[in-house]
Amino acid sequence: MISFLRGQIVRKSPAEVVIDVHGVGYVVSIPLSTFEQLDHAKGEQTLLTYMHVREDAMQLFGFATEAERELFRLLISINGIGPKMAQGILSGLSAGELRGAISQGNVTLLTSVPGIGKKTAERIVIELRDKLDKGVESESPVVSTTAQLKVRSEAVVALMSLGHSRAAAEQALRKVLSESTDKNLAVEDLIRLALRHAGK
């Protein structure tokens, strides 16, 4: 089992990186939250990893923090949630948002992630709520309100209609929200600010 990789990132995208470890290039799938932390990183990097083994394939998943990796492990322990879906959940929500949604039973926030329906969201809450207290401590949960979710969802759709991928749209919106002191931006302001980030 590979626990971590340390080396130079030679190629990266919002869903995958190639890391050169002593001349060997490892392809590692990552959530968007990890990509954001690597986005401005320079020099040698360390990725915590989880190796998923199937009969026909082996795949490495990488994480910037232990909190992300622990949540990934908890998610894939749920029947019906595979590594790709878990990666998608951690791309749609930060570790803090996810922990907060689970502990507070916020199904609305969980279903804001593409591909997560109400039944799956309810199963995540039921199966993981008690396990979170035993897991790795994360940052303080920051749970979006329903109104904020609606604005963010509309902004994502608008950015995609302007030619940006969902991953690029989500990344730009996260940067805007993390940098803004106003957490209740109107959808048009959110789109305008996100376009500046997406264009960089």
Q: What is the pLDDT of residue 78?
A: 95
Kindly write down the DSSP assignment for every residue of 34-83, as one continuous string.
HHHHHTT--SSEEEEEEEEE-SS-EEEEEESSHHHHHHHHHHHTSTT--H
| pTM attached to this predicted model | 0.70
70: which 2 tokens?
């622990």
pLDDT at position 143 is 46
What's residue 91's pLDDT?
A: 84
In this prediction, residue 133 carries a pLDDT of 58
For the chain (length 200 residues), average pLDDT per consecutive 10?
92 90 95 80 88 89 93 95 92 85 90 87 94 55 58 78 76 79 77 72
Distance separating alpha carbons of residues 107 and 137, to the nearest angstrom: 22
In whole angstroms, give the CA distance from residue 80 to residue 103: 20
User: What's the Cα-to-Cα distance from 143 to each of 3, 27, 47, 56, rounded to whole Å?
Assistant: 30, 32, 26, 39
Angle between helix 66-76 and 118-132 (nearest 10): 120
Which tokens in the block code for residue 164? 């940006």
Residue 23: what pLDDT?
95
Closest to 111 in 3D by CA, of 102, 121, 119, 99: 121
DSSP letter (8 states) at residue 141: P
